[in-house]
Amino acid sequence: MFKVLLASIIITSTAITDNVLAQSSDPLAIGGKDTAWFMSRVGRSDLDSEPQEPFKIAGNVYYVGSNNITSILVATPEGHVLLDTGTQKMGAVVFPNIVTLGFSPADIKVMLISHAHYDHMETMETMRRITGATVAALEAEIPSLLSGHDHGINETWGHEPIQVGRILQSGDNINIGGSTVKVIWTPGHTPGTATYFINTQEDGKTYQVVFGGPPSPVTNHPTYDTRPEDVLNAFAALREMDPDIRINGHPQNLFEGKLEALWANVRPSPLMLAPGEWLELLDNSETEYRRRLAEVTATAP
């Protein structure tokens, strides 16, 4: 069954890419932007999509992404939640990793999105069609997801439009099979960037895994400015949480020197946050944001 699914996703992903390229007079141009422009904006190569062995983060929460683009599986008896699917190239990374862990991609019931940049969800609609899963996303990200256009300051070349089945509000919980994933709106990187908190149990202890982090607000930009009230509300909501483990969207540096231990399921996990580390991260980020905001206010006409 999985071989059929995997073949389907690879073929479909290739067809999507070929179709987009065929519509351009320049085979390297997508959305009116050439590859050199695109790579200069994104600042990373597709080497970030290379395969990497999966591992257990904690409890029923697993890393199934590539070497530098995160995809997280929350496995439950009633179906699974998949957070981010990555690039088209990762269609041949995420599903095999799920199978390696002993789970079936066909059991994915919900898909969540950290933010609508191609490298985190370019293949999501393909996976949605194959699995029949429901895509859930924050309301502010819906215009980008439905249109296929990047509405963030990076202006990447977009993605296949995604069929969204549930619109989330900040603070909502996604409940399935005894597991809960809470979403908090952390706008800036894109209008609807989300940070997720996953509660899980392991060896009689409860852990909270956070995927994401403080908002990355845009200041003093004519098109992409982030409303200060939304940013400060995000910081306040994040301060109410107390995560034990943090995973970010591009974790290569985070994983450096730790992969052997992660694959061996060493406990305590090398990804555990130090006492006070989460609040320190928020303090530093909010202080920097308030400094930038004050500068903008001081120089405003």
| pTM of the model as a whole | 0.86
Q: What's residue 112's pLDDT?
A: 98
CA–CA distance, 18 with 43 (Å, rounded to integer)? 24
Q: What does the pLDDT read at residue 155?
A: 65
What integer pLDDT is reported at residue 43 of this predicted model?
Answer: 53
Residue 10 is predicted with a pLDDT of 40
Kindly report the length of the chain.
301
Which amino acid type is present at position 201? Q
Confidence (pLDDT) at 6: 47
Residue corresponding to tokens 């730790």: 258
* Spans of the chain below 70 pLDDT: 1-46, 154-157, 301
Tell me which fold the domain 2-33+47-299 belongs to: Metallo-beta-lactamase; Chain A (3.60.15)
How many Å apart are CA 214 and CA 248, to the nearest integer? 11
| β-sheet with 194-202: strand ranges across | 173-176, 179-185, 194-202, 205-211, 245-247
| pLDDT number for residue 83 | 98
Tokens found for residue 282: 């928020």
How far apart (Å, rounded) are the C-alpha atoms in residues 52 and 265?
15
What's the rounded Cα separation, in Å, for the pair 30 and 18? Answer: 11
Burial 66-81 (b: 16+ CB within 10 A, else e): bbbbbbbbbbeeebbb
pLDDT tens track for 146-194: 998 888 776 666 788 999 999 999 999 999 999 999 999 999 989 999 9
Domain spans, the chain: 2-33+47-299
> To which H or E segment does residue 237 belong?
helix 228-239
At residue 44, the pLDDT reads: 53
